[in-house]
Amino acid sequence: MPDTSAFSATTRPYFATVARGLETIAAQELTELGAEQVKPEFAGVAFIGDRALLYRINLWSRLIYRVLMPMATVKAFNAQDLYRSIKKIDWDEYFSPEQTLQINCTGKNPQLNHSHFTALQVKNAIVDQQRDRHQRRSSVDLEQPDIVINAHIHQNHCQLSLDSTGFSLHRRGYRPALGNAPLKETLASALLAMAGWTPEQPLYDPLCGSGTFLLEAGLQSLNIAPGKFQPGFCFQQWPDFDQDLWHSLLQAAKTGERDTLQAPLWGSDGDREVIQAAKSNAQQCQLAGKIHWQQLNFADIEPPAAEGMLICNPPYGKRIGQEEALGDFYQQIGDVLKQRFKGWTAFVFSGNKALTKRIGLRTSARFPVNNGGLPCTLLKYELY
């Protein structure tokens, strides 16, 4: 954990968690949001900032999962050692016995190698201290806790952090209707960033599913903060929560929203129910009537403009569909792009090299990406 003594009372270290492989691009986003001393690490990004930055990142980040605020690093040679170390911390500084609690544990060592058992030791130490002091204790809530504590075991130490976010930021809250194997919203935004898409560019997803690519693009184009759809953040339950500061950030975000897209967005899919789900999702995030949706089989698609960017996430035989049956479809993707989309730039996201070879087009760039533990690639095709 960074040495907090070197920081003023108004700035402190934080750690943003992110999907593996997206650390660098997330670091760029955090820098743009005002973070300082930004350092990509494994599955996350360390940085420093003030309280306003913490709130702003939770409100505006399109790429990260959550923001942790490191509290302390304690000894954790075994369960008894961890319990004693945790109980010495003054937990009254962070929350009251009336607030609900959740402990998330990651990492392990030879003596603490089961995350549920480790989390139980942390919880027991905290509530035992509360019971000793106040004759009452926090209840555990695994659904909507007021306070979330992250305990990370590394070698013989445990790093404790307060989770400022609560619900993972990839769950925007606007997408109750899902298609098969939907992309996480954070990954969709990351792929758009890797593709170099900007809101001034027309965008078409001919395999749109529940619409994640286009919804994320639409939010960017209208300058809508993705965090506004969250039901609430854990930092709002902290003793030092600044209601006026948070309100001012929300008002500034609302003032900065646009009414119209900067360029057209189109989505099509062969499944009528999926298109209805995409429309429903758009309704949830201020995009109703702004994206052009159409039920259309891939074989029948035509370019909706003379030029633009096409991006799609076809099935690749890992979660849905059978790999053998998909080979002809991938060949069809290549044929349609080559024959009809001259002047466009296309991106295909897939986790199956054998299938992508069937596309039959020369790639101009390849971006490796981890998708839920699956090694995938974003393939770029310049269509002339």
| Angstrom distance (rounded) from CA 283 to CA 229 | 12
**pLDDT score, position 4:** 36
Among 14-18, 36-40, 148-152, 168-172, the range scoring the smallest mean pLDDT is: 168-172
Mean pLDDT in residue range 255-272: 97
**Phi, psi torsion values for 234, nearest 5 degrees:** -65, -30
pLDDT score at 1: 31
Give the pLDDT mean for 295-299.
Answer: 97
Q: Which of 146-150, 176-180, 190-194, 353-357 has the lowest mean pLDDT?
A: 176-180
Please state, as a whole number, how many other Cβ atoms lie within 10 Å of the Cβ of residue 227: 22
Q: What's the mean pLDDT in 113-117? A: 93
Mean pLDDT throughout 324-335? 91
Q: Is the pLDDT of residue 8 over 50?
A: no
Lowest mean pLDDT among 18-22, 33-37, 83-87, 205-209: 18-22
Average pLDDT score over residue span 51-76 = 96
Residue 38: pLDDT over 60: yes
Q: Residue 5's pLDDT is what?
A: 37
Give the model's pLDDT for residue 7. Answer: 40
143 CB neighbour count, 10 Å cutoff: 6
How high is the mean pLDDT of the chain? 92
Q: Among 176, 243, 235, 183, which Cα is nearest to 207's?
A: 183
- 384 exposure class (CB count in 10 Å sphere: 0-12, 13-18, 19+): exposed
Report whether pLDDT(301) > 60: yes
- pLDDT the model gives residue 176: 59
Q: Flag whether pLDDT at 338 surpasses 60.
A: yes
Q: For the residues 259-274, what does the mean pLDDT come to?
A: 97
Predicted confidence band of residue 318 (pLDDT cuts 50, 70, 90): low
pLDDT of residue 226: 93
Q: 3 falls in which pLDDT band (50, 70, 90)?
A: very low
| Structure token pair of residue 77 | 């040679």
pLDDT reading at 260 higher than 70:
yes
Residue 297, pLDDT score: 97
Answer yes or no: is pLDDT of 314 > 70: yes
Mean pLDDT check: name the lowest of 6-10, 28-32, 241-245: 6-10
Residue 171 pLDDT > 90, yes or no? no
pLDDT level of residue 173 (50, 70, 90 thresholds): low
Percent of the chain whose predicted confidence (pLDDT) is above 70 = 93
pLDDT digits (tens, 9 = 90+) for 117-170: 999 999 999 999 999 999 999 999 999 999 999 999 999 999 999 999 998 887
pLDDT over 90 (residue 183): no
SS (H, E, C) the chain: CCCHHHCCCCCEEEEEECCCCCHHHHHHHHHHCCCEEEEEECCEEEEEECHHHHHHHHHHCCCCCEEEEEEEEEECCCHHHHHHHHHCCCHHHCCCCCCCEEEEEEEECCCCCCHHHHHHHHHHHHHHHHHHHHCCCCCECCCCCCEEEEEEEECCEEEEEEECCCCCCCCCCCCCCCCCCCCCHHHHHHHHHHHCCCCCCCEEECCCCCCHHHHHHHHHHCCCCHHHHCCCCHHHHCCCCCHHHHHHHHHHHHHCCCCCCCCCEEEEECCHHHHHHHHHHHHHCCCCCCCEEEECCHHHCCCCCCCCEEEECCCCCCCCCCHHHHHHHHHHHHHHHHHHCCCCEEEEEECCHHHHHCCCCCCCEEEEEEECCEEEEEEEEECC
